[in-house]
């Protein structure tokens, strides 16, 4: 019988497998996807948010624990677990040498991400390079890896793991780490979680920015078996992305960031939110949800020639026209309704000193909703339109864990069942988003879970996994 079974093949799963193997356990890792799609959503990541008290190789200045915690508190609105959150935050200050040991390499923050150079350590080549490095290291250390191996269910007895089933095959292990992701690519579940809004099934028009393999099978099963639940099924990382993005795995490049430089209208040609409210990180996190509650779950970001060259290049070229009514017709908006919105907006613009790098004084007056910054009239052809849809990165519903990453059943931690990654990220991140926090949570609890699982598998019964924890710290 194998000591530790790891279910999943993303960052958290790999961290768990490597830690368990380093602790001397025999490890079997089951990845649902074929080899070329291995790594789940981790292949789309690019950095982890790191606590540090002084400048480090690729990190500038300092990002102390308290500031990190306050940032997290702010975005989650308090829907977090301080003990687990601080554990992950502290973990982020010490895990990078271990990552480097397993082949991960870091690079300076990418052009256009200068504001992240203090807080986020970028992986050279991005998340797929990280996943490749971890798989190489795992193979070298003797972790057994099986691709195309989807676990259908796990056998639990009183909250204790006995075996996993792949079809009819029963795979026993002394301990198990479930790191099989959230349920963002389970369309049925998404539909049910988001429900209907004005007669429309909201989630039917969502695009999934990540893997198609995160169907939440084991999450659902653990919850049905009595694991304690954490988080709201409709909470997730949702951003507004180009409507032409692929249904799955569109990743980072499908984001559209000209929202603040023009106006955004819905299917009826009406504005519905202050486009100039805030900078990118805040915008990024809210516009997916805003579009989700517009009719047809679609919106159109409209800019004029003045905006060109002032935002991150979009992956698809925008719809382009030399006058606004033509542009409206091209994207299927009623030109009259649309022009009414534009004319009202243009007339309401009070142009001051435009400066995209600060919350400037260009704003609208007497317009609802207002555009509070960067408000310039749309008057310079050519004009461009980008259709937007909600893009779901990952869901926050999960199983409740303790500081050993043990899955809790009725408040009692399981002896040998652990959860890490998206499947338990909701413990720390109940709402909102902070750039790079997903990888930090996955790395911290993946490593903790791996060490704890090895301990559970190898140590005599009833001994506490303190050793495992300190190994992971």
Partner 1 sequence: MPPPEPASTTLDGLTREAARLGAGGAAPAAAFNALPLTDAEGEVARQMQICNACRYCEGSCAVFPAMTRRLEFGKADVHYLANLCHNCGACLHACQYAPPHEFGINVPKAMAVVRAQTYSDYAFPQALGALYRHNGLLVSLAIAGGLALFLALAVALKGGLWHEPLAGNFYAVFPHNLMVVMFGSVFGFAMLALGIGVTRFWRNVSPGEVPEGGNAPAAAEAVHNALKLKYLDGGHGEGCHNEDDRFNTTRRLYHHFTFYGFMLCFASTSVATIYHYAFGLQAPYAYTSLPVILGTLGGIGLLVGPVGLWRLKTQRHPMHGDSAQNPMDYGFLALLFLVSLTGLLLMVLRNTGAMGLLLAVHLGVVMALFVTLPYGKFAHGIFRSAALLKWAIERRLPSRLRLGSD
Site pattern 329..368 for partner 1 (x: CB under 8 A)? ----------------------x-xxxxx-----------
Q: How many helices (H) and strands (E) does the chain have?
A: 13, 23
The separation between CA 357 and the C-alpha centre of its own chain, rounded to angstroms, equals 26
Piece in contact with partner 1 (CB under 8 A), picked from 116-124, 178-186, 187-195, 197-205 = 116-124
| DSSP symbol at 192 | H
- The residue within the footprint of partner 1, chosen from 10, 127, 421, 430 (CB under 8 A), is 127
H helices within 52-126, ranges in order?
65-76, 82-92, 96-101
Q: Which residues pair with 28 in a beta bridge?
A: 5, 144
Is the Cβ–Cβ distance between 328 and 269 less than 8 Å? yes
Residue 38 touches partner 1, criterion: CB under 8 A:
no
Of the candidates 175, 239, 168, which has an alpha carbon nearest to the alpha carbon of residue 415? 175
Which residue number, 357 or 470, has a Cβ lying nearer to partner 1? 357
- The residue within the footprint of partner 1, chosen from 194, 300, 311, 394 (CB under 8 A), is 311
Which residue number, 125 or 295, has a Cβ lying nearer to partner 1? 125
Residue 97 touches partner 1, criterion: CB under 8 A:
no
- The residue within the footprint of partner 1, chosen from 10, 251, 398, 436 (CB under 8 A), is 251
CB of 381 to partner 1, least distance (A): 10
Query: d(Cα 426, Cα 428) in Å, to the nearest integer?
Result: 5
Site pattern 264..303 for partner 1 (x: CB under 8 A)? ----------------x---x-------------------
Output b/e per residue, 235-266; b: 16+ Cβ within 10 A: bbbbbbbbbebeebbbbbebbbbbbbbbbbbb
Is the Cβ–Cβ distance between 109 and 121 less than 8 Å? no
- The residue within the footprint of partner 1, chosen from 128, 197, 212, 415 (CB under 8 A), is 128
Look up tokens 């990453």; give the residue.
405
Query: d(Cα 256, Cα 315) in Å, to the nearest integer?
Result: 8
- The residue within the footprint of partner 1, chosen from 56, 93, 94, 132 (CB under 8 A), is 132
Which residue number, 80 or 443, has a Cβ lying nearer to partner 1? 443
Residue 208 touches partner 1, criterion: CB under 8 A:
no
- Which residues of this protein are in contact with partner 1, per CB under 8 A? 36-37, 43-44, 46, 105, 107-108, 110-115, 122-129, 132, 136, 246, 249, 251-255, 257, 260-261, 280, 284, 305-317, 351, 353-357, 376-377, 379-380
């Amino acid at each position: 019988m194998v000591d530790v079974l790891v279910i999943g093949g993303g960052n958290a799963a790999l961290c768990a497998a490597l830690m368990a193997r380093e602790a001397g356990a025999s490890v079997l890792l089951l990845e649902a996807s074929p080899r070329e799609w291995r790594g789940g959503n981790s292949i789309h990541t690019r950095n982890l948010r790191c606590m540090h008290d002084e400048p480090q190789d690729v990190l500038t200045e300092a990002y102390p624990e308290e500031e990190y915690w306050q940032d997290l508190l702010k975005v989650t609105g308090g829907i977090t677990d301080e003990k687990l959150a601080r554990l992950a935050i502290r973990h982020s200050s010490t895990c990078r040498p271990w990552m480097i040991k397993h082949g991960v390499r870091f690079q300076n923050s990418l052009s256009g991400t200068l504001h992240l150079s203090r807080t986020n350590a970028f992986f050279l080549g991005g998340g797929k390079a990280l996943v490749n490095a971890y798989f190489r290291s795992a193979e070298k250390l003797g972790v057994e890896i099986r691709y195309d191996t989807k676990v259908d269910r796990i056998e639990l007895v009183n909250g204790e793991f006995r075996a996993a089933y792949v079809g009819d095959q029963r795979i026993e292990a002394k301990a198990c780490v479930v790191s099989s992701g959230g349920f963002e690519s389970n369309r049925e579940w998404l539909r049910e979680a988001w429900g209907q809004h004005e007669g429309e099934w909201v989630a039917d028009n969502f695009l999934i920015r990540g893997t198609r393999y995160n169907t939440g099978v084991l999450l659902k099963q653990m919850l049905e078996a009595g694991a304690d639940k954490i988080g709201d099924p409709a909470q997730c990382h949702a951003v507004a992305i180009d409507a032409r993005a692929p249904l799955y795995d569109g990743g980072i490049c499908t984001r559209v960031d000209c929202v603040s430089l023009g106006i955004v209208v819905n299917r009826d040609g009406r504005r519905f939110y202050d486009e100039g409210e805030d900078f990118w990180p805040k915008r990024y996190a809210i516009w997916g949800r805003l579009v989700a509650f517009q009719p047809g779950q679609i919106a159109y970001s409209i800019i004029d020639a003045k905006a060109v060259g002032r935002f991150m290049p979009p992956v698809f070229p925008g719809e382009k026209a030399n006058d606004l009514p033509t542009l409206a017709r091209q994207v299927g908006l009623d030109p009259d309704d649309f022009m009414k919105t534009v004319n009202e907006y243009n007339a309401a613009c009070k142009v001051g000193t435009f400066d995209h790098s600060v919350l400037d004084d260009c704003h609208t007056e007497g317009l609802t909703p207002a555009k509070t910054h960067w408000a310039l009239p749309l008057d310079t052809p050519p004009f461009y339109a980008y259709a937007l849809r909600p893009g779901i990165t990952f869901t926050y519903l999960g199983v409740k864990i303790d500081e050993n990453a043990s899955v809790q059943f009725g408040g009692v931690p399981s002896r040998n069942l652990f959860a890490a990654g998206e499947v338990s990220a909701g413990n720390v991140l109940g709402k909102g988003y902070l750039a790079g926090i997903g990888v930090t949570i996955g790395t911290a609890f993946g490593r903790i879970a791996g060490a704890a699982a090895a301990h559970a598998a190898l140590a005599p019964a009833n001994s506490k996994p303190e050793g495992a924890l300190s190994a992971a710290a």
